[in-house]
Amino acid sequence: MLRQVVRTHLGASWSCEVELCVSELVSNVIRHVGDGTTVTVHVATTEDGRRTRIEVTDPDPRALPVLLRAGVDDESGRGIALLDAVALRWGVRQGAVSKTVWCEVARA
């Protein structure tokens, strides 16, 4: 459902990388902060028009994403590695009562 919403919102500027990043970032919130946690998803074109920036904000400034190298038999731990592989850059903006994990991917 989330990927479909992203696809509908972006229209012609849609890319599978944006869908992947949004779903991985939101999945991380569900897994590490909790199911039912309120998040804000922001998807926009950067000022230079060359990149799409994705931001996912949640209310837990402590649960920071970690880049792991999952083994072949591991059932989890690949989300941020996928993000790192498709994004041009990514990072975390930590606030007093929330955090925003963001990434930028090349425009379609």
Rounded mean pLDDT, 23-46: 92
* Structural domains of the chain, ranges and CATH numbers in brackets: 2-106 (3.30.565.10)
**DSSP state for residue 11 in the 8-state scheme:** G
Task: For the chain, give the mean pLDDT.
Answer: 86
Burial category of 25 from C-beta neighbours within 10 Å (exposed 0-12, middle 13-18, buried 19 and up): buried
DSSP alpha helix (H) spans, the chain = 2-10, 16-32, 79-86
- As a whole number of angstroms, the distance between CA 9 and CA 87 comes to 20
State the pLDDT at residue 76: 60
State the pLDDT at residue 86: 93
pTM: 0.85
